[in-house]
Structure 1
Amino acid sequence: MKKLLKSRLFSSFLALIMTLGLITVKTKEVKAETEDQIVTSEANIEEENNKAALEKGSVDITILHTNDTHGRVKADSSIIGIDTISAIKKSINNSILVDVGDTLHGLPFATMNKGEDIVALMKLAGYDVMTPGNHDFNYGYERLLELADMASTGLNSFPIISANVIKDNTTLLDANYIKEVDGVKLGFFGLTTPETAFKTNPNNVKGLEFASPIESAKKQVEELKAKGADIIVALAHIGTDESSEIVSTMIAKEVEGIDIIIDGHSHSNYPTGFEADNGTLIVSTGEYGANLGQVIITFNKDTNKITNKIASLIPKATAATQNPDEIVAQKIEEINEAQNAILSKVVGVSKVVLDGARENVRTGETNLGNLITDAMLYVTGAEIAITNGGGIRATINAGEITKQDVVSVLPFGNFIVTKYLTGAQIKDILEHGVKDYPATAGHFPHVAGINFVFDAEKAPGERIVSIKINGKDIDMDAKYLVAANDFMAAGGDDYPHFKDVKTENEFQALDEALEEYIKYLGEVNYSKEDRIAVGKAENPVENPEETEKPEEPKNPVENPEKPQDPQENNEIPGEGNELPYTGGNNPMYLLSLGLFITAIGSLLIVDRRKKAAEK
């Protein structure tokens, strides 16, 4: 009987211990959960307070930007239009509107009054600052100075700046400019590509020096910081073309302290920009006013730091939802009326589209390039004609050809010259023209009077494998009368030999020669004629433009991450790398264990009673 009582007491005690254990565990869990909630709540309150303090001292500033419009300020199916750009700028608080060049020259609308109409429209539109590109020197640097003076005087004035264009040991234009917005000082400095020395007529920049953009940028960052600039922005007509010696990414790498580089020259399209070295954001809109760039900068005035930079592009379709600025639109109409009578004159008809697309004329033969060089032969009587693809600026659609179409294709006012060159010099010139193929390059040649084949797999300078004139191999020692435009004749696009050979004669402007030749033909029906072929001398490829070309630069990513294979780390897809679940905060397993032990104890008691009864 005593043994039975002891067993009952033991079982009851064990059950009690288990129950107390459950209560203790649960109490600790509730307490821990409560403490965690208190800590989390306090952290959330602190985070919200910090966020509120940050927002209290922060200001958003929007920089709107344009580049490489080449006189395309009038809206059409693909161009936003400066009247709409003006309206967008005026609709955004704390906004700044800037331009990074190749703006004052281009289409006839710009060239008819040598850039003055473009400056007038930019002032009305509310531009705050601009840096000149190489083509803004096309009227000569003296005219650029006149345009800069027009821009910086009177109502709605703005400066045209560049830190690396030097004359007589000083900058030709103001080097930098500070604009204060809502108490924040934005320091801008301008950079113009050194390629301007040969990417405008060299006579236009005679006496000028184009200093190193990198060294100039270093000086400007120091100077702007000394002036109290909170944010530093480079307006850089530099570009990211592989064929350029200096590109904007090099500037970002070598120069600390530049927050943003607003880029031009290479016509690059970066929808969200990209972060280069030293945390510099590089942005660019593409070309011809198809997009308006936008950078929203969040700046904390308490900490005096940028807390965020967001870049985007406003495309034509989005911009079209904004009503144009009426004052700017009215000014455009005034200019149109003065020009339409001249430019609307029909000069001929084309049965085909005449291809002047940038990506085609800078990489291969096109029917428009053939038409232009044939026109050069027609007006000069030369044996050979060569012109650079970078000078061909537009396509002519099938149908009536107007004077405006002609001037849009050849807007630079270049005239034709003739020079005697040897066969060996002509080969050197063609080698220079194709040295960067398949990259797009303004110095890619278009020709008449000759056919040539080049091997793109050979080293630059050794690519020409065949040159024929009237079906016969060129004589390297003989001299040939060559027609070229005055830009190339003066060493433009860095072409060799031309500037070292005396000029035999000068002729009318390229656009005038083309117009005359179109009138002579009456009806234009041109095609490619395999004047330029890529391949081996024995087996040339007929259509060079069909060779694969590199895409436009995308946002560079040095080490893109590939999607990780879950099996590489023996992971279960969708789950982390935690150890397998073997327990937790749920006390049910303890309760089950307690009930099991209680049941065993009861069975032991029953069994002992039976044995006692048998005795």
Structure 2
Amino acid sequence: MKFKKLSIAFLTLILVMTLSFTILGQEAELRIYHVNDVHSRVEEDDYAGSMGYAKMATLIDEGRREKANVMFLDAGDTFHGQTIANINEGEAISHILDLMDLDALTLGNHDFNYGQERLEELDYMSNFPFLAANLSKEDGEEIPYTQDYMIKEFDGLTVGVFGLVTPETAYKTHPKNVEGLVFGNPVTAAENAVSELRDQVDVVVALSHLGISEGSEYTSTMVAEEVSGIDLIVDGHSHNVIEEGMMVNDTMIVMAGEYSKYLGYVDLTVENGEVSNISPNLIPREDTMDVEKDYMISKVVERVNRANETITSQVVGRTAVELNGARGNVRTGETNLGNLITDAMRSKLDTDAAITNGGGIRASIDQGEITQGEVITVLPFGNTTMAIELSGADLRAALEHGVSEYPATEGLFPQVSGIKFTFDGDAEPGNRVQQVWVGGEKLDPDAMYTVTTNDFMKAGGDGYSMFADAPIVKEAGGLEEVLMEYIEANAPVAPETEGRIVAE
């Protein structure tokens, strides 16, 4: 009898241990699709290289049929950029992403372009959360349109996602759009978020709009180096194509370029509550030629475009040459489109010079007819044009600031009119500008000059602090309106590069 009791106890112990090992040995699979910096390039576009949301939706739906556990994340700069979004201030994008069952979005700097009130409205109409763990209000009140993180439960695993917004937003949108907001240290915010999430979830994801640019003070690389416990950083802001992911310490960083040229996805294996394998992948647009477009997304895009067509289809003039507004060009050197825009600004307000930030130029224009829609796409931010009075010393300081991050493709790089300057890109920042001429004469640091710029830069945007206190002497309308008026008066336009900006 005693032996029988021992046998039953022994068998019970074995059964419990077997069950325990079965539970501990559970394995779960997770796939995370991701995009970043789409800038509302929602349509397939040969010129921009975009696959568009309709094809992305088809690919993601295929993944959901193949995999039990699937997420879709967006790393920001989503609601603004093209006329399909700008005319309705992001509402069309919200609707499309809802149809695609987006799980979460972190706010990019350009997602603030419509102002905080509109962000709150977009949050209300969207079925996905806006994540921003390092964003707070100066007065300590809760921000109504963001949350620090989200937790999603699947069969067999739990995922925590927190958001990080670049502190550069303070000057990479119009300052009025972020009044009263504090963009905190992303490293500290990440440490706090991981501390809260790590014991609750199997997988920790940072949805980040920090980027990996050497010109940024805070990057996702820094977060991965200084904060342990993050399994994956889905990144944006610097527009990099990280083909096979980038492992930093024990954290994988992924980024899918820009403008919906790529759809990224990461396959993760979770064993015993820990990520045991992580495999990043990118689907380039050229691999999607045979992919059918999602019917509902296509219909929504068609409907919105039809409603906007009466505005966007109006022809304002012609160009005899292609107008170069490519991101990598307007942020590193002189382009003919940069010259055209600044010439229009200087002409409108009759000033000595004009300067605009390359980051405000968002697209090129093909040779031929120019429509209002194309101009709005090039200059989508609704900036106004104004003339300020600057000393020669401050003007030189502005140019010095403009080339301080060269050769990084930063938006502060200047496009100019009425100015010629040379700079040494290998010199230390602060000592790069060599020679400056205004109106053909050498710059006099003690003289006063009238300079046309945009209201974003006048408010200190992109770090142009020397403009903030400069007196405004004239104002005009929207920058896109000024350009359309100039094109109409001078068509066909044929601007050239003229050696206004020379890297020595």
Q: Distance in 1 between matches of 2:148 and 2:425?
A: 42
Greater than 6 Å deviation, 4+ residue runs: 52-56
User: What's the counterpart of residue 184 of structure 2?
Assistant: 211
User: What's the counterpart of residue 74 of structure 1?
Assistant: 43
When residues 475 and 276 of structure 1 are mapped into structure 2, their CA distance, relative to the original with a 3 A threshold, is same
Q: Distance in 1 between matches of 2:203 and 2:501?
A: 50
Q: Give the strand-richer structure, 1 or 2.
A: 2
Q: Conserved in 2, the CA contact under 8 Å of 1:428 and 1:496?
A: no
1:256 aligns with 2:228: yes
Q: Distance in 2 between matches of 1:438 and 1:79?
A: 25
User: What's the counterpart of residue 271 of structure 1?
Assistant: 243
Q: Conserved in 2, the CA contact under 8 Å of 1:164 and 1:171?
A: no
Q: Distance in 2 between matches of 1:83 and 1:362?
A: 30
1:106 aligns with 2:70: no
Q: Conserved in 2, the CA contact under 8 Å of 1:84 and 1:320?
A: no
1:285 aligns with 2:256: yes
RMSD: 1.7
Q: In the alignment, residue 234 of structure 1 is paired with which amino acid? A: A
Which residue of 118, 123, 126 maps to 2:93? 118
Deviations 1:406-442 (A, max 9, x none): 1111111111111110111101101101112222221
1:443 aligns with 2:402: no
When residues 457 and 403 of structure 1 are mapped into structure 2, their CA distance, relative to the original with a 3 A threshold, is same
User: What's the counterpart of residue 197 of structure 1?
Assistant: 170
Q: Unaligned regions of 5+ residues in structure 2, if any?
A: 1-20
User: What's the counterpart of residue 326 of structure 1?
Assistant: 295
Equivalences for residues 15-414 of structure 1 within 5 A? 57-77=26-46, 78-92=49-63, 93=67, 94-151=69-126, 157-167=127-137, 168-169=139-140, 172=143, 173-226=146-199, 228-277=200-249, 279-300=250-271, 303-414=272-383
Q: Conserved in 2, the CA contact under 8 Å of 1:86 and 1:126?
A: no
1:530 aligns with 2:503: no
Q: Give the helix-richer structure, 1 or 2.
A: 1
Deviations 1:219-257 (A, max 9, x none): 00011124x111000000000011001111110011110
Q: Conserved in 2, the CA contact under 8 Å of 1:443 and 1:493?
A: yes
Q: Unaligned regions of 5+ residues in structure 1, if any?
A: 1-51, 152-156, 536-615
1:472 aligns with 2:441: yes
Q: How much has 1:55 moved relative to structure 2? A: 12
Q: Conserved in 1, the CA contact under 8 Å of 2:198 and 2:229?
A: no
Deviations 1:45-73 (A, max 9, x none): xxxxxxx9799822211100000000111
Q: Distance in 1 between matches of 2:438 and 2:246?
A: 48
Q: Distance in 2 between matches of 1:263 and 1:203?
A: 26
Query: What percent of counterpart residues are identical?
Result: 45
Q: Distance in 1 between matches of 2:309 and 2:277?
A: 47
Q: Distance in 1 between matches of 2:366 and 2:294?
A: 30
User: What's the counterpart of residue 591 of structure 1?
Assistant: none
Q: Conserved in 2, the CA contact under 8 Å of 1:163 and 1:171?
A: no
Q: In the alignment, residue 326 of structure 2 is paired with which amino acid? A: A
Normalized against structure 1, the TM-score is what? 0.75
Q: Conserved in 2, the CA contact under 8 Å of 1:380 and 1:418?
A: yes
Q: In the alignment, residue 193 of structure 1 is paired with which amino acid? A: T
Q: Conserved in 1, the CA contact under 8 Å of 2:37 and 2:236?
A: yes
Q: Conserved in 1, the CA contact under 8 Å of 2:52 and 2:260?
A: yes
Deviations 1:559-610 (A, max 9, x none): xxxxxxxxxxxxxxxxxxxxxxxxxxxxxxxxxxxxxxxxxxxxxxxxxxxx
1:459 aligns with 2:428: yes
> Based on CA coordinates, which of the two structures has the bigger radius of gyration?
1
Q: How much has 1:534 moved relative to structure 2? A: 2.0
SS in 1 for 2:31: strand
Between the two proteins, the alignment pairs up a number of residues equal to 476
Equivalences for residues 594-605 of structure 1 within 5 A? none
Which residue of 453, 463, 470 maps to 1:501? 470
Q: Conserved in 2, the CA contact under 8 Å of 1:100 and 1:262?
A: yes
Q: In the alignment, residue 85 of structure 2 is paired with which amino acid? A: A
Q: How much has 1:497 moved relative to structure 2? A: 1.3
Q: Distance in 1 between matches of 2:246 and 2:428?
A: 32
